[in-house]
Amino acid sequence: MSAVLEFSLGYQHPAHRALRSYLGEVAGEVGVGLESVTVDLDTPVSAYVALDTRLRSHPGRDVALLWDERSGWAIAVETHSGEDLIVLRYLGGTAVPAPVEVARFVAAMRRGEPVGLTEPPSLRVPTGLDGLELAPTLVVAA
């Protein structure tokens, strides 16, 4: 089930509410609102965050953050033909890093720094909402 995050509040699974909160924090850190976020609640749980930025390496393409419970965050560019996005780099580290860490990843990519990983990491086995734990990661150190 895919939904724009702002309108997907009817789903009552506890992990969905935690995911909504986490994705909302990430969206805020990268300078967009919940209207820029869509989520797919099938296994593996995944999300798409449209960014209001361009990358030096791909100046004519729209940029997005992708997240899934297996590989964590990635930065990608849209194609002109409507095909799948082109993933440029993966953040790595953990599947659910602090939102500020995701924002640092985006900022480094905007500056043209070769951060992250070129291949998708396998950070956890996908479990869907039933095994997704997000609450501990929402505490962001100052």
Contact criterion met (CB below 8 Å) for 120 and 71: yes
Q: Which of 61-65, 99-103, 126-130 has the lowest mean pLDDT?
A: 126-130
DSSP 50-88: E-S--BTTBTTS-EEEEEETTTEEEEEE--SSS---EEE
Tokens 């990635």 correspond to 74
pLDDT, tens digit (0-9, with 9 covering 90-100), for 40-74: 989 999 999 999 998 988 888 999 999 999 999 99
Residue 88 half-sphere exposure toward CB, CA atoms < 13 A:
24
With 90 as the cut, is the pLDDT of residue 28 above it? yes
pLDDT score for 10: 58
Compute the radius of gyration of the chain from its Cα atoms.
Answer: 14
d(CA 129, CA 92): 21
Six-digit token pair at 82? 């409507």
Six-digit token pair at 114? 């070769």
Supply φ then ψ for residue 125, to 5 degrees.
-80, 130
Domain coverage including residue 78: 2-138
Number of domains in the chain: 1
